[in-house]
Structure formats: structure tokens, C-alpha cells
């Protein structure tokens, strides 16, 4: 069957071919036990993998215990973490062939915080807070801890942690890695003048501020199998006149492209408190500009909630992939609705096939 929809056309990333351009964005679940996936992850990941999306990316996953955002964040810093996640994947992959990626992360100066639904801001010492670090001794905001300014040895330790987590991801069968370099976490903080005022080779000019994130990328790419794709999430802007601008993101994307990056996932904000003009497709212009000026494939994210909205973004060349986050939590079968609207086809577990109809008629869905 010929599919005219851009959203439901395949997309190749190295040896991995996605059945469609829909990606379930990484979404923190704050439900791990010392970094180990829990029963909730079986429920959540199983739900997302039965959605019919082309790719599912596991939430921000810490490469070090001290790199967690909250005490309940997922990790891959230990063999126990890897074994727990492997068990979850073994359970859910019996029923879905959707590729699975993982977003490797280090929270940097924004580590050691409460889960969002418990309360905002950093943990207190009595609540189990741990020391945080960053490119410079600049706290995220008033009332936040002053991070330790990282030494060269600290950087080497973190790079080694990324490499170890990468090898564990490969061993448990992960298909794709995305580095988290957005939202003010460690790699994002190095990129942003708001968090990085170093006077050495890792601060000052944009070239210097990119140095550590690119060193992390090179180390991970070197440890990751050649045939498996790798992407990066970064900020298109900090929404602050003294922070990251889209031109900086374009330069970062070009450097990543030259190092073998396969796509860039364009988000924004998080290096300071800022007034963000949130609205439908509000981050898409950054993805569009980066795609056009760097030649690197982009993923558009942020308040993309309607199938025709996603289709327009792709068909007009603003991005190559569409990341859906909160809309997937609201409706885990969002891709089914998009397929009905756009005339596409998605994978459906046979147990759900009788429910996946278009106007009461069974559509040309692929039964997993």
C-alpha cells in the first residue's frame, strides 16, 4: 500500500530503519530504586511500545549516581541498573518490535532535587541531598546549592561514566543512544554562558564551551557500535539574552554532524528561570533553522499535539522526526489516531487489533 503521509514514511538512522517518523520522547518517571527500573517501568515502557510509534526513547538515565536529577531517577551506572532494565525490556519486547533508545544524562548542578510532584527545588541535607558539580561555581538560582567547579580529573571521571553506561546499554540490547545536552543539565551547562564562566580551554568562546560536550560525544560514539545510531538533545535557546542562541546551536550541530551524530533533538530552556512563550510548535523554528543551516537531521518537539500539525512540520521540511511526550501520556495510542487521520499504518498488538479500526472498518494495520 502506498502511504502519502510524511509522518508515516520510514526513516533510516544507520542500520536502524524506523517504520514511521513518530518518536516517543524521553519522559522522566521518577520511579527507580537506586537507579534500577521498577515494575512501573514495565507498565510505562510496555504501554509506549504498544503505541505504534517508530521509536521509543527511555527517560533521562544517569551515568553516575550523583548525576541523578532526583533520588528516584533511572540509571545505568551499575551492573544492577543494567540487569533491572534488561529484565523490563525482556518482558515488553515479547509483544513489540518498536526500537528502543535511551537518553544518557548527567544532571550536573541541577542534580539532587525533589520529584516534581513532591515539591520544587533542591533537596535539603536532612532529605538526603548530595553535592553537585558543574562547569563553574554558579548555582542554578537563588537558594540552590553552589556546585563544585569541575576539575580536569572530574571531567575524565564523567567521560568514563558515560562510556561505561554506553557499553551497558549495548549489552542489554538498546538500539539507539541520545545524549542529553539540554535543559541546564551538565552538558547543557557547559554550553551556556549563564552557567559556564571558566577561564580555561572549556570556557569563554563557544568553541571552548562546546569542548567538553563534544569530548563526551566522541567517547560515547567510540564505545557505541558503528551500525547503531546516536543523537543529541540540545537547546535551541536559553530564552535569555546572555544565554545560548540558535546560532550557537547551529554551530554545535555542525560540530556534531562532523563527528558522526545522526540527528539532533531540539528543545530549549533550563539554564535559568525564564519566561518561555509556550504554545503549539513553539520550539519548531529552532529545529527548522538548525536543519537548514547545519545539514543535520532534526527532531522537533514541544506542544506538538495534533496529527496534522506533525504532518505539516515534516512536509514543509522543518524537521525529519517528531517527538511526542505529554500527548503520549495523555493518549498512549496517539499514533493510532494519527494513522486514522492521515491514512497511515502502525503496528498494533494482536490483542488490541479489534479496537484499532478506522470508521468501524479494520484498517491496514500491521499486527505485531
**CA-CA distances (angstroms) from residue 137 to 105, 146, 156, 170, 230?**
20, 6, 18, 34, 31
CB atoms within 10 A of CB 311: 21
356 — pLDDT class (breaks 50, 70, 90): low
Per-residue model confidence (pLDDT) at position 3: 58
Q: What does the angle CA 357 – CA 361 – CA 364 come to, to the nearest 5 degrees? A: 70
Q: Are 104 and 179 in contact (CB under 8 A)?
A: yes
pLDDT in tens, 191-222: 999 999 999 999 999 999 999 999 999 999 99
Q: Are 226 and 184 in contact (CB under 8 A)?
A: no
3-class DSSP state of 147:
coil
Per-residue model confidence (pLDDT) at position 358: 55
185 is catalytic: yes
Half-sphere exposure of 322 toward its Cβ, with a 13 Å CA cutoff? 34
Torsion angle of alpha carbons 236, 134, 113, 84, nearest 10°? 90
Strands 176-181 and 100-105, sheet pairing: parallel
Half-sphere exposure of 30 toward its Cβ, with a 13 Å CA cutoff? 10
Contacts (Cβ under 8 Å, ≥6 apart) of 190: 135, 196, 202, 209, 210, 211, 212, 213
| Cα 260 from Cα 98, distance rounded (Å) | 24
Half-sphere exposure of 237 toward its Cβ, with a 13 Å CA cutoff? 16
| This prediction's pTM | 0.95
Is residue 354's pLDDT more than 90?
no
Q: In the predicted model, what is the mean pLDDT of residues 6-25?
A: 98
pLDDT in tens, 159-185: 999 999 999 999 999 999 999 999 999
Mean pLDDT of the chain: 95
Per-residue model confidence (pLDDT) at position 361: 43
Per-residue model confidence (pLDDT) at position 357: 59
pLDDT in tens, 308-319: 999 999 999 999
Q: Which residue is catalytic, options 162, 185, 263, 365?
A: 185
pLDDT in tens, 33-46: 999 999 999 999 99
363 — pLDDT class (breaks 50, 70, 90): very low
Nearest residue to 290 (alpha-carbon basis) of 242, 231, 241: 231
Q: Which CATH superfamily is domain 11-367 in?
A: Aldolase class I (3.20.20.70)
Residue 263, C-alpha cell as written in the block: 540527528
Q: Where are the domains of the chain?
A: 11-367
Amino acid at each position: 500500500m502506498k502511504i502519502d503521509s510524511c509522518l508515516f514514511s520510514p526513516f533510516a538512522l544507520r542500520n536502524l530503519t524506523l517504520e514511521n517518523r513518530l518518536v516517543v520522547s524521553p519522559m522522566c518517571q521518577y520511579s527507580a530504586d537506586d537507579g534500577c527500573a521498577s515494575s512501573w517501568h514495565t507498565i510505562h515502557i510496555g504501554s509506549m511500545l504498544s503505541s505504534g510509534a517508530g521509536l521509543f526513547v527511555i527517560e533521562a538515565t544517569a551515568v553516575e549516581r550523583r548525576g541523578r536529577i532526583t533520588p528516584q531517577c533511572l540509571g545505568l551506572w551499575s551492573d544492577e541498573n543494567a540487569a533491572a532494565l534488561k529484565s523490563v525490556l525482556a518482558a515488553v519486547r515479547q509483544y513489540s518490535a518498536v526500537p528502543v533508545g535511551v537518553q544518557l544524562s548527567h544532571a550536573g548542578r541541577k542534580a539532587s532535587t525533589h520529584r516534581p510532584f513532591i515539591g520544587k527545588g533542591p533537596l535539603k541535607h536532612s532529605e538526603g541531598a548530595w553535592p553537585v558539580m558543574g562547569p563553574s561555581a554558579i548555582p542554578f538560582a537563588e537558594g540552590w546549592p553552589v556546585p563544585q567547579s569541575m576539575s580536569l580529573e572530574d571531567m575524565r571521571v564523567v567521560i568514563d561514566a558515560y562510556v561505561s553506561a554506553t557499553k551497558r546499554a549495548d549489552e542489554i540490547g538498546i538500539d539507539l543512544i541520545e545524549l542529553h545536552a539540554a535543559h541546564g543539565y551538565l552538558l547543557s551547562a557547559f554550553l551556556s554562558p549563564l552557567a559556564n564562566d571558566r577561564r580555561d580551554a572549556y570556557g569563554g568562546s563557544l568553541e571552548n564551551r562546546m569542548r567538553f560536550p563534544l569530548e563526551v560525544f566522541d567517547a560515547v560514539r567510540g564505545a557505541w557500535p558503528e551500525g547503531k545510531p546516536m543523537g543529541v538533545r540540545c537547546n535551541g535557546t536559553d530564552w535569555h539574552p546572555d544565554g545560548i542562541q540558535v546560532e550557537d546551536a547551529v554551530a554545535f550541530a555542525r560540530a556534531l554532524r562532523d563527528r558522526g551524530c545522526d540527528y539532533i533533538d531540539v528543545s530549549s530552556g533550563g539554564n535559568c528561570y525564564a519566561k518561555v512563550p509556550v504554545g503549539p510548535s513553539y520550539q519548531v523554528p529552532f529545529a527548522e533553522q538548525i536543519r537548514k543551516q547545519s545539514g543535520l537531521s532534526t527532531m522537533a518537539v514541544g506542544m506538538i499535539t495534533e496529527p496534522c500539525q506533525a504532518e505539516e512540520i515534516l512536509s514543509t521540511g522543518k524537521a525529519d522526526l517528531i517527538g511526542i511526550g505529554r500527548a503520549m501520556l495523555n493518549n498512549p495510542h496517539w499514533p493510532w489516531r494519527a494513522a486514522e487521520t492521515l491514512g497511515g499504518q502502525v503496528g498494533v498488538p494482536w490483542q488490541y487489533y479489534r479496537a484499532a479500526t478506522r470508521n468501524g472498518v479494520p484498517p491496514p494495520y500491521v499486527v505485531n
